[in-house]
Amino acid sequence: MNASAGRLSLWLLLTPFLLWIVLLVLVPHLQMLRVSFQVRESWDTLAWGLEQYQNFFTESYYWRTFVRTGVMSLFTTFLTLLIAFPIAWYIARLARGRAKGLLFLACLVPFWASELVRTYGWMILLRESGLFSSWLQALGWADGPVEMLYNDVAVIIGLVYNGLLFMVVPLVTTLDGMDENLVEAGYDLGGNHLTVLREVVVPWAMPGIVSGCIVVFMLTLGSYLTPILMGGKDSAWFTEQIFTQFITRFNWEQGAALGVLLLVLSSLIVWLGLKLSGQSLRKVMG
């Protein structure tokens, strides 16, 4: 194949994709950025300005919701890591043969259900007239129906549940490649469980830990269904504010600015996390 024919077929192959990425990803995002710098002076005149961004920092409701969402997302990520690590360890290091594959698959299957279906499953369990409430009453631990939905704990349960798989998979992948001799050397040198975990296992698994944490954090911060369905009207999740501005108030300028802020701030947090853990994105995401 000569060079020019090669170029031609490359362009033919890539054109649909380039069209897609320019028209449906780049242009909309730039347009969103543009709208976010607009200020509505009257019903039909627009001016340029930073008012929407100022609103975010001056109106405490906005940034407080963002901080709350960010802190809850970090907590969710950490909790997911704590829950997922032993499972990944078991699958990667302790399980053998068929059991290993089966355990991994069993971890995967619930996530083939959509987020809506999964969240709805939890709602059936946790609501006032749900299964857990009736069990508590049958056991005599509660006098009447207990409402376990519509609070922060319910939201975190839902979010951890949704994130679990995305933490288990990268952890299993890195732990799978760890040499058993490393762990044994750690014990031979007089380490106990804790020091071996801290000095040998965690440093080895760091790329997996960081990549799992990034994915879970981004998923959690950007999630919409779970906080709204399990947290109720007052869950005050940042994505809800974007929805409110865009759809309920029809205030696109503010909604667009909040969207841009969500992108920028979440990338910033991920970047900080990478710096703090001494990992690079390329290494972590392979």
Residues in 5-44 at the binding interface with another protein, rule: CB under 8 A: 6, 9-10, 12-14, 16-17, 20-21, 24-25, 27-29, 31-32, 35
Task: Name the 3-class secondary structure at 40.
Answer: strand
Q: Which residues pair with 47 in a beta bridge?
A: 39
Q: Looking at residue 244, what DSSP letter applies?
A: I
Distance of CA 9 to the CA centre of its chain: 38
Applying CB under 8 A, the span of 39-47, 57-65, 172-180, 255-263 interacting with another protein comes to 255-263
Residues in 59-88 that interact with another protein by CB under 8 A:
83, 86-87
71: amino acid identity, one letter: V
Strand pairing report for 38-40 and 46-48: antiparallel
**Other C-beta atoms within 10 Å of 234: how many?**
8
Residues in 106-125 that interact with another protein by CB under 8 A:
106-107, 109-110, 112-118, 120-125
**Other C-beta atoms within 10 Å of 79: how many?**
18
Instruction: Rank residues 123 and 183 by Cβ distance to another protein and give the closer one.
Output: 123
Q: According to the binding rule CB under 8 A, does residue 285 interact with another protein? A: yes
Site string for another protein, 137-176 (x = CB under 8 A): ------------------------x--x------------
Q: According to the binding rule CB under 8 A, does residue 102 interact with another protein? A: no
CB of 15 to another protein, least distance (A): 8
Residues in 186-245 that interact with another protein by CB under 8 A:
214-215, 218, 221-222, 224-225, 228-229, 239, 242-243
Instruction: Give CA–CA dist 253/215, Å, rounded.
Output: 29
218: left (phi over 0), alpha (psi -120 to 50) or beta: alpha
CB of 51 to another protein, least distance (A): 18
